[in-house]
Amino acid sequence: MRWLGGRESDNVDDRRSSGSGGLIIGGGIGTVVIALIVTLLGGDPSSILGNQQATTQAPVDQQADDAAAQFTRRVLASTEDAWTKIFAEQNAQYPKPVLVMYRGVTSSGCGTAQNAMGPFYCPADEKVYIDLSFYDELAERFQAPGQFAMAYVIAHEIGHHVQKQMGTTDKMQAMRQRLSEKEYNRLSVRLELQADFYAGVWANRAQGQSVALDEKDIEQAINAAHAIGDDKIQEETQGRVVPDAFTHGSSAQRVYWFKKGLKTGDIKQGDTFNSNEDANLQ
């Protein structure tokens, strides 16, 4: 992944040294994965981890942490450029979200943000939250290393911000009380797959503008999408796959929609809610 210019975004709230990042929430891989799934939907992740025991965070490699922070600012800037142009094509203005970088624990409009949750978008304050230690977790726990794998995760969260601006998130919230858990889970999957599609759209638009990507970069993003599919996570954490409990979609579905966004670069091609083209991908 090679930057073309490498502009860094100013829409970053850096809380890494705010003093609230000294704790890490320990609760085991099952709790961590469940919280990751919940928070990527924009829910309140503290409800999952609120009662977990706090343990001391490992020492931070400041040089590596600063490099990760710089990388995050660059990816955010690239998404800003891409989505500003896409919204302009629709005669609309793109409200740039703030990205909060933190270590350990911080506050959000959706409750307490804790590093075990993974990155998430909070619709209440329209901010993206990321503890930079997640980059290490992505490489080590999910076996999805590489810069573009990290960029895909950020772009996915920005995809949720795009959904918020387009009214999709609010429509989901309005339907939540009227649907069964099974029905709402199905819609949650479609919401997440659309965020994957939007991540692909960003990659399409960024290519040759803010970044130069090669096949290895694309493979990293596809590997990350595959690694955090519901079927793969369920198999690893509970030894069986329960499709009715999916919230993000299978690995194959996530890869499919990311690749479609990457190929088309056209937001009109990403109506995951009314599409059955991925129905046989499990």
In the structure encoding, which two tokens stand for residue 188, read together? Answer: 């949650």
Distance CA 76, CA 74 (A): 5
How many C-beta atoms lie closer than 10 Å to residue 234's C-beta? 18
**Cβ-count burial 109-122 (b if 16+ within 10 Å, e if not):** ebbbbbbbbbbbbb
What confidence category does residue 56 fall into, taking pLDDT thresholds of 50, 70 and 90? very low
Residue 63 CA to residue 79 CA, distance in Å, equals 25
Q: What are the φ and ψ backbone dihedral angles of 102, each rounded to 5 degrees?
A: -150, 175
**Residue whose pair of structure tokens reads 């800037």 in the numeric block:** 77
pLDDT in tens, 85-121: 999 999 999 999 999 999 899 999 999 998 878 899 9
User: Residue 49, SS3?
Assistant: helix
Q: Using an 8 Å Cβ cutoff, are 217 and 148 in contact?
A: yes
State pLDDT tens for residues 132-184: 988 888 888 777 778 999 999 999 999 999 999 999 999 998 888 888 888 88
- The token pair that represents 154 in the structure block: 């950020």
Residue-range domain boundaries for the chain: 2-274
Q: How far apart are CA 50 and CA 10, in angstroms?
A: 31
Q: Which residues contact 10 (CB under 8 A, 6 or more apart)?
A: none
Single-letter residue type at 75:
V
